[in-house]
Amino acid sequence: MSDLRTMTYAEAVREAMATAMTNDDRVFLMGEDVGVYGGAFGVTNDLYERFGTDRVRDTTISELGIVGMGVGAALTGMRPIVEIQFSDFLCQAMDQVVNQAAKLHFMVGGQADVPLVIRTPGGSGTGAAAQHSQSLEAWFAHIPGLKVVMPSNATDAGSLLLAALEDPNPVLVLEHKLLYKQSFEVPAEFPRAHLGEGRIEREGTDLTIVATSIEVQRSVQAAEQLAQSGISAEVIDPRTIKPLDLPLILDSVSRTGRVLLVQESAKFGGFMAEVSASIAESPAFGDLQAPIKRLCGLDTPIPYSPKLERASVPQVEDIVAAASALVGEW
């Protein structure tokens, strides 16, 4: 009998929250429409009926207030999960995220922890236009004191959320909204995960592709197409971008000699610029047979038009073309 089951990304997130809430009375969930409505993307679904109003709390429309309450609850020993309806709305809560949650442990000399988990959907692909479709991970990865998680599949969505809930630090979990309805094979129990531990998603020898979130899936699909033309691509999923499993990336780059860095967000100031710089500053740089290549979203707000929206971020065919050129030209 197989120990695998099929579940969607959203179901995995919900199961992880339910498991944590069952095992630890300190864990509770709050956010806009997470209760009766079941969440904007249906992720929280029946948690309201299962755990009641004390553990699943609908809030007012104030991201600054929601995150502020989460920080306060965390400081008093609770384990709050704050859901922000769209990651774009974190702009309204930046003071609490950046100046409070990320810094309080340091500013009180380690006398208090802030075990706050913020979950929020990001990314494009749903026709939600420029104010609801951004990929803002680089902002938060830049802030000392914050950890940033980007699960690319249902197993990681569950495992990494549970790991985040065990961490004494504030953790931001960025869930791609296109992944919510996708189905995956998942173990009977979520395997234990460690923040800062990446994974080789597909082994290869000719080049390394480092990708995040939904671009991991697209990179694996691209690698399968590349294999048909004789190019062996290794795909790495960092899983958490802060902390980053840099040794895993550098080891792969040293072995393959070429690297393509793929992100949905715009290139300028993006997270993959940090990965690129880290490679350039490491001994792995001497093993490169070609320049480091970044494939990123266009430097434009996400369009509402489906065709323009799709064209503004890397797709499978873009990854295939970039990887083929990287191998063919060098």
Give 262-295 pLDDT, tens digit per residue. 999 999 999 999 999 999 999 999 999 999 999 9
pLDDT digits (tens, 9 = 90+) for 180-196: 999 999 999 999 999 99
Angstrom distance (rounded) from CA 58 to CA 71: 17
Q: Which two tokens stand for residue 174?
A: 């960025």
**Do residues 200 and 233 touch, judged by C-beta distance below 8 A?**
no
Among 139, 162, 187, the domain boundary falls at 187
pTM to 2 decimal places:
0.96
Q: Residues 30, 117: one domain?
A: yes
Angstrom distance (rounded) from CA 47 to CA 70: 18
pLDDT of res. 1: 41
Domain-embedded: residue 172 = yes
- The share of the chain scoring above pLDDT 90, in percent, equals 98
Q: Which of 132, 137, 201, 234 is catalytic?
A: 132
Q: What is the CATH number of the domain that holds 34?
A: 3.40.50.970
Domain-embedded: residue 194 = no
Sequence-distant (6+) residues with CB within 8 A of 132 are 86, 88, 126
Q: Which of 15, 63, 201, 309 is catalytic?
A: 63
Q: Known catalytic residue: 63?
A: yes
Q: Which residues of the chain have pLDDT under 70?
A: 1-2
Q: Known catalytic residue: 224?
A: no
Angstrom distance (rounded) from CA 1 to CA 42: 31
pLDDT of res. 268: 97
Total structural domains in the chain? 2
Domain-embedded: residue 177 = yes
Sequence-distant (6+) residues with CB within 8 A of 71 are 96, 100, 101, 104, 114, 116, 170
pLDDT of res. 3: 87
Domain-embedded: residue 192 = no
Beta bridge partners of residue 297, listed in sequence order: 266
